[in-house]
Amino acid sequence: MRTFLFSVGIIILIGAEILRVYFIMPFPGSQHDETINVAYFLHTNINIIRVIGLVLIAFPVVSYFRSGSPTSKIIVTLSVVVYLVVFYFFNFRFLADKMFYQPGIKVFTKANANKIPTTNLVIGVSVNGASKAYPIEIIGYHHQVRDTVGNTPVMVTYCTVCRTGRVFSPLVEGKAETFRLVGMDHFNAMFEDTATKSWWRQVTGEAIAGPMKGKQLQEIAAEQMRLDAWITLHPDTEIMQPDTTFNKQYEGMKNYDEGRSKGDLTRADSLSWKDKSWVVGVQTGMDARAYDWNELEQVKVIQDTLGGIPLLVTLASDSASFHVFKRDTLSFTFDPATYILRDAQTQSTWNIQGRCTEGKLQGTQLPVVQSYQEFWHSWRTFRPQTTAYHYAREDEK
């Protein structure tokens, strides 16, 4: 009986510690199945499970050390040591918030004092006339940065494994909330709020486990582009600078912008429509569509209609800064030599940033449509209704 109790207890102790982390971290095979409810149960009940396991092994341990053979004592001792080692690693080394820390200090400068290479990618946010830029090779390590833009609290997030950024209001039911990186769901970063301990997906802002399940964080408009492109659009922008405490960690993000990361989780596929191929994703209402990055690099400008909304998708000459606009009734031709657009209706000329520079509509700015750069595996997983746009097919019509 004591062998049975000890075996069951030690399996419960070791198994619970491992599975609690395994299901929410990118271990082999852990991110493909629908295990979030099991993971959340283990996470929220881990102390109860530990007590049950310890109660089960308590009597056998005492009994073995009183009357057990030397071999049994060694086995019991080694089993307990294994549990303690597992406990340490899965509580202090493998947890997401023990691997990725928030910046201790946040320093912002104007463009004239900026030390970030202007060719780096940023997530740009403009609220109430104020603008800030958050370099991806900084926030990609931190996964989230809490800040204020235009007197509005923001939560700037980035998931390197999905290659996509989102900006949210950190208010839950009207109250400011603090979030920590808790793990991943289907390879997407997942945050836990302090008050309710609910789990929230980075890619959608939806609570997928806990008391807030089904609730949605309010998204704040943001754009991804090169820093120099952002500065051109927002000359008074403030730019986040590195927290030198994390220089070594930032070094690990070097070349991420260009897709030259060496990690299996963050590397890019060079071919189109592969798991880690880049796409530009757009959702209007319940309709979603992905535009292949390779194709966009070739044609630079795509005109499309999604959910009844006419769209203009453009890629700047830097081959990194992309834009999606609502073009209403306008249709455009594009001159790749000059990067000038001309609308068929008024023959006005437009730049790649969606602004009319000459003609009847001079000064008009096309409305920006929220869009994201993302790995194809992520976009199709979290927006299963998506369609894939193919320029050649449209061109043949």
How do strand 188-193 and strand 121-127 relate by DSSP bridges? unpaired
264 pLDDT band, cuts 50/70/90, is: confident
- Please give the pLDDT value at position 40: 97
Query: Which tops the pLDDT comparison, 21 or 29?
Result: 21
Q: pLDDT by residue (tens digit) across 214-231?
A: 999 999 999 999 999 999
Angle, nearest 10°, between helix axes 36-44 and 46-67? 60
| pLDDT of amino acid 237 | 98
Confidence of residue 394 (pLDDT cuts 50, 70, 90): very low
Range scoring the smallest mean pLDDT among 243-257, 294-308, 379-393: 379-393
Q: How confident is the model at residue 204, as a pLDDT?
A: 97
> In sequence order, what are the beta bridge partners of 132?
125, 238
- The answer on pLDDT for 397 being more than 50 is no
Does the pLDDT of residue 395 top 60, yes or no? no
- DSSP letter string over 19-61? HHHHTTTT-TTTTSS--HHHHHHHHHTHHHHHHHHHHHHHHHH
Q: Is the pLDDT of residue 382 over 80?
A: yes
Residue type, 110: K
* Residues 333-343 pLDDT 10s: 999 999 999 99
Give per-residue pLDDT as tens, 127-136: 999 999 999 9
Higher-pLDDT residue of 264, 296: 296
Superfamily of domain 278-396: Rieske [2Fe-2S] iron-sulphur domain (2.102.10.10)
Cα torsion through 56, 59, 61, 62, rounded to 10? 160
Per-chain mean pLDDT for the chain: 95
| Residue 218 · residue 169 · CB < 8 Å | yes
Average pLDDT over residues 362-368: 97
Cα(80)–Cα(278) distance, integer angstroms = 47
Q: Which tens digits make up the pLDDT trace of 183-204? A: 999 999 999 999 999 999 999 9
Q: What is the DSSP string of 272-306?
A: TTSTT-EEEEEEETTEEEEEEHHHHHHHSEEEEEE
210 pLDDT band, cuts 50/70/90, is very high
Domain ranges, ordered by start, for the chain:
2-94, 107-251, 278-396
The pLDDT of 258-287, averaged and rounded, is 94
Helix (H, G, I), strand (E, B) or coil at 397: coil
Cβ atoms within 10 Å, residue 245: 12
Q: Over the stretch 40-99, which tens digit does the pLDDT of each residue have?
A: 999 999 999 999 999 999 999 999 999 999 999 999 999 999 999 999 999 999 999 999
Q: What is the mean pLDDT of residues 105-128?
A: 97
Tell me, what's the pLDDT at 91?
94
Encoded tokens for 210 = 């806990």
Q: Does residue 302 have a pLDDT over 50?
A: yes
Over pLDDT 90: what percentage of the chain? 95
For the cut 50, the answer to whether the pLDDT of residue 396 exceeds it is no
Two tokens, residue 62: 């005492």
pLDDT at 151: 96
Confidence of residue 392 (pLDDT cuts 50, 70, 90): low
Average pLDDT over residues 326-332: 97
How many other CB atoms sit within 10 Å of the CB of residue 29?
8
Q: Which residues contact 249 (CB under 8 A, 6 or more apart)?
A: 141
Q: Over 70: is that where the pLDDT of 107 sits?
A: yes
CA angle at 248 for the pair 94 and 170, rounded to the nearest 5°: 60
Average pLDDT over residues 347-367: 97
Which of 183, 7, 17, 6 has the alpha carbon at shortest distance from 86? 17
Class of residue 389 by CB neighbours under 10 A (exposed 0-12, middle 13-18, buried 19+): buried
Angle at 274 between CA 369 and CA 144, to 5 degrees: 50
The pLDDT value recorded for residue 296 is: 97
pLDDT of residue 329: 95
